[in-house]
Amino acid sequence: MFEVSDRMKKIPPYLFAEIDAMKKKKISEGVKIIDLGIGDPDLPTPKHIVSALQKTVEKVERQKYPSYEGMLEFRESVAEFYKRRKGVKLDPQREIIALIGSKEGIAHLPLAFVNEGDFVLVPDPGYPVYYASTVMAGGKPFYLPLKAENDFLPELESLPEEVIRKTKILFLNYPNNPTSAVANDEFIRSAIDFCIDNKIILAHDYAYGEIGLDGYRPKSFLEFKNALEVTIEFNSLSKTYNMTGWRIGFACGNEEILKGLLKVKTNVDSGVFEAVQEAGITALRGDDKVIEENCKIYTERRDVLVNGLKNLGFEVKKPKATFYVWCRVGESSIEFVKRILDLAGIVATPGIGFGANGEGYVRFALTRSKETIMEAVKRLEKLF
């Protein structure tokens, strides 16, 4: 009776519905599922952050409509965080806005800058929101293949000139979901220069910027000279402080780009609950040992899973960042995921769900305890 719009028809159906159904069936049969599919940390939000929310949520002044751009003190805490962690100086009044999680900002950006028929450069495989937000804004996604032989970095120099001329936004994401790849300085510099030369917005999804393993420090694009001319960087407290459900993040960078995004936000949402912002201030101004401890835990989990997969003959590298392991399986990713769920009770994410170039790969999330991951490896040993 009610038909969805043509633009919504362009967004593919939920690929994992069949896998979810299989998962529910296994649980109903009494199988103890090991879910390594979801990128949602099992680690709790640190107690001092929870306490900050508990104390402030009762304040009457925090129960009103918040500002669209976020509390100044929250934005100041972001600026302090970037200065401390990245050596980047940002103006909290002009170069930072609060978001209801970084996903919200990413989804709204094309609405601010993309006209019907404009291109948006979208990594493949990549976070599905880049594609969906482009389509909902009337734009045309142009896929950038991320391949192992190029260290999962796109070849911007090979783009057709006619595409470049009509491109408004380049989405990049390093450390990368789903491949866990990282970007070297040379690539970051070249991406910034490419966008400056072609007047393209460089939208960097930096949600995993604090999940560096073995002492690796993932760089912010804003650390590079002239980056502020074209860059908006999306960041989140979700992965850094185990606050996925709290829905708080921020965007920082070019003032003009932020103003465009803010204009969308003023028309579609009412900002971040100020009690949550106060908790965010506590997080950002807190001891960085929280971040270090998270990374230590993910490193231990990574080693257990990667070593186990390698011993079983799988082609997999130890990631330097994120809490994902991107594993080549040499067959249909969906069929592989169905098989390990059916025969071993293990949930993983098929690479095809992130784009055509994800086929043949599976993403495992390190969001379960080391002991649980050891059990998953034992189950896989019985299959391979």
Per-residue pLDDT of 237-263, as tens digits, reads: 999 999 999 999 999 999 999 999 999
The pLDDT of residue 210 is above 90: yes
Q: Say which CATH architecture domain 47-284 belongs to.
A: 3-Layer(aba) Sandwich (3.40)
The pLDDT of residue 15 is above 70: no
The pLDDT of residue 73 is above 90: yes
Strand 324-328 vs strand 167-172: parallel, antiparallel, or unpaired?
unpaired
Average pLDDT over residues 49-63: 93
User: What is the pLDDT, as a whole number, of residue 186?
Assistant: 98
Q: Which residue has the tokens 């500002």?
A: 67
C-alpha 130/C-alpha 308 separation (Å) is 33
Q: Which CATH class is domain 6-44+289-381?
A: alpha beta
Are the C-beta atoms of 351 and 359 separated by less than 8 Å?
yes
Helices (H), 94-217: 102-113, 128-136, 161-165, 185-198
Are the C-beta atoms of 273 and 66 separated by less than 8 Å?
yes
Strand 167-172 vs strand 201-205: parallel, antiparallel, or unpaired?
parallel
- Amino acid at site 223: E
Please state the pTM of the whole predicted model: 0.96
C-alpha 35/C-alpha 43 separation (Å) is 14
Token pair belonging to 110: 């094309």
Which is it for the CA torsion 306, 307, 313, 315, positive or negative? positive
Average pLDDT over residues 147-170: 97
At 22, is the pLDDT very low, low, confident or very high (cuts 50, 70, 90)? confident
Q: What residue ranges do the domains of the chain occupy?
A: 6-44+289-381, 47-284
Phi-psi category of 205—alpha, beta or left, where left has phi over 0 and alpha has psi -120 to 50?
Answer: beta
User: What is the pLDDT, as a whole number, of residue 4?
Assistant: 87
Average pLDDT over residues 151-161: 96
Q: Smallest Cα–Cα separation from 105: which of 324, 285, 278, 260?
A: 260
Tell me the β-bridge partners of 350: 362
Domain pair 6-44+289-381 / 47-284, same fold: no
User: What is the pLDDT, as a whole number, of residue 14?
Assistant: 62
The pLDDT of residue 13 is above 80: no
* Cα→Cα distances 27→243, 335, 374, Å: 27, 19, 20
The pLDDT of residue 16 is above 70: no
Are the C-beta atoms of 278 and 62 separated by less than 8 Å?
yes
The pLDDT of residue 285 is above 80: yes
Q: Say which DSSP state 67 is in.
A: P
Per-residue pLDDT of 74-106, as tens digits, reads: 999 999 999 999 999 999 999 999 999 999 999
Average pLDDT over residues 276-300: 97
Token pair belonging to 138: 């009337």
As a whole-number percent, the residues of the chain with pLDDT over 70 amount to 99
- In the chain, DSSP finds a helix count (H) and a strand count (E) of 13, 13
At 331, is the pLDDT very low, low, confident or very high (cuts 50, 70, 90)? very high
Are the C-beta atoms of 311 and 292 separated by less than 8 Å?
no
